[in-house]
Amino acid sequence: EDQVTQSPEALRLQEGESSSLNCSYTVSGLRGLFWYRQDPGKGPEFLFTLYSAGEEKEKERLKATLTKKESFLHITAPKPEDSATYLCAVRADSGGYQKVTFGTGTKLQVIP
C-alpha cells in the first residue's frame, strides 16, 4: 500500500531562518508528487508538482526537490505569512486508477 511520511510533524522557525521539510514515500508506479499549503480551516492550496528524480520547482521562498525516495521543501528566509501546514501527496497507479495519497503534514510556525 502507498505510504507517505512527512517530517517533522511541527517546525518553529525564527523569521529569516531557513530550513527544509521532508516527505518520504513508498509507492509503486509514481505518477507525480505534489506539495500543498493548508491554512487553518481552509482547503489545501496547490504549490508544486514534481514528476521525476532530480526535478526542482521554485516559487518565491519555496523550492521543492525530488529523489527516488523522498522530496524536500526548502524554505529560504521565511516570513510569518509562510506559517501554515505543508502537505505532501503522491499520485500512483492503483489497479488502473491513479490514486492520490496524502501525508499528515508539517505544521510550520514562523515567529517574527
The answer to the question of residue 20 lying near another protein (CB under 8 A) is no
Q: How far is the CB of 6 from another protein (least distance, A)?
A: 8
The span from the CA of 54 to the CA of 43, in Å, is 29
Q: How far is CA 28 from CA 3, 14, 63, 109, in A?
A: 10, 38, 25, 33
Strand 56-59 relative to strand 3-7, pairing: unpaired
**Smallest distance from the beta carbon of 44 to another protein, in angstroms?**
5
Minimum Å distance from CB 16 to another protein? Answer: 28
Member of 91, 92, 108, 110 binding another protein (CB under 8 A): 91
